[in-house]
Structure 1
């Protein structure tokens, strides 16, 4: 019943409905991810790619001090958005040719699984951000 109520709320708003329809076309993005992004990341489509990645907690931050070069890790941001993108990216690696090719390229370059997956999460988020910013449907040729 809750899923039906959430879907009805999204469909009732013309702005949310437009966003949902654009995001629905991306292979690997399901209903739960779409509704969570619409609800918890209303800035999607309004910020640039660096800002949206930092807001979602997908921007790598360095831990450097003096001559010491520390690790680059992601932290901060909205954890629920990051969790939803993690699951969506696992699905997108299997059914989205653009994300799969990017993941395979990173894996062949020797990147660990989670590093490559995090990079794919950020790429998927920036694709969604650009789609909503330009109000353009999914096009694998330009992604």
Structure 2
């Protein structure tokens, strides 16, 4: 954002070069940290196995598998429902008095994890048979766009939990 603003205003070349060098250093630091995380996962057989299991799920790639490994191994969830609640993916009815509100997700957990899960769910809606079947059922009930994606996020989290818990690769349950 700073670089973009500097390029559209009368900012000296020294400041622009400084911002560009900071961006390069930050990108390098991100790459180094990602490599360190991957090396740590590869250095522990149980983490490596869990990551392979997670990545067997359509829509789950490197980023989401890292996040789910972090969450699943840092917290002691006893069920997929607890995990979904932690991530703020549980539906909640908003109402007060005569106002019959809308059903929304609680958004109680870390937003940065939900942001990553959102994109994974969008991909899974297209490529995962279970989540595609969920989409068809929800469309038949007249649910729309983001409601379907939020339901897909929750389903994806439940599938991730099940795959790691059972220690078996993803197998589509939908016919």
Report TM bin, short chain. 0.7 to 0.9
Identify the structure with the greater helix proportion.
2
Alpha-carbon distance in 1 for matches of 2:113, 2:78: 16
Alpha-carbon distance in 2 for matches of 1:44, 1:85: 18
The question of 1:52 aligning with 2:83 is answered yes
Greater shift in the superposed pair: 18-27 or 35-44: 35-44
Residue 132 of structure 1: CA displacement? 1.4
Conserved? CA contact 2:126–2:132, under 8 Å: yes
Q: Which runs of 5+ in 2 are unaligned?
A: 1-30
Alpha-carbon distance in 2 for matches of 1:29, 1:14: 20
Alpha-carbon distance in 1 for matches of 2:82, 2:89: 10
Residue 109 of structure 1: CA displacement? 2.4
Aligned residue in 2 for 1:5: 36
Q: Which runs of 5+ in 1 are unaligned?
A: none
Q: CA RMSD in A?
A: 2.2
User: Structure 1 103/86 Cα, relative in aligned 2: closer, same or farther at 3 Å?
Assistant: same
The question of 1:30 aligning with 2:65 is answered no
Conserved? CA contact 1:45–1:129, under 8 Å: no
Work out which of the residue numbers 84, 99, 122 in structure 2 matches 1:90. Answer: 122
| Larger Cα-atom Rg | 2
Q: Secondary structure at the match of 1:61?
A: strand
How many equivalent pairs are there? Answer: 143
Higher relative contact order (CA 8 A, sep 6+): 1
Q: Secondary structure at the match of 2:165?
A: helix
Work out which of the residue numbers 117, 135, 140 in structure 1 matches 2:167. Answer: 135
Alpha-carbon distance in 2 for matches of 1:37, 1:49: 12
Q: Secondary structure at the match of 1:140?
A: coil
Aligned residue in 2 for 1:77: 109
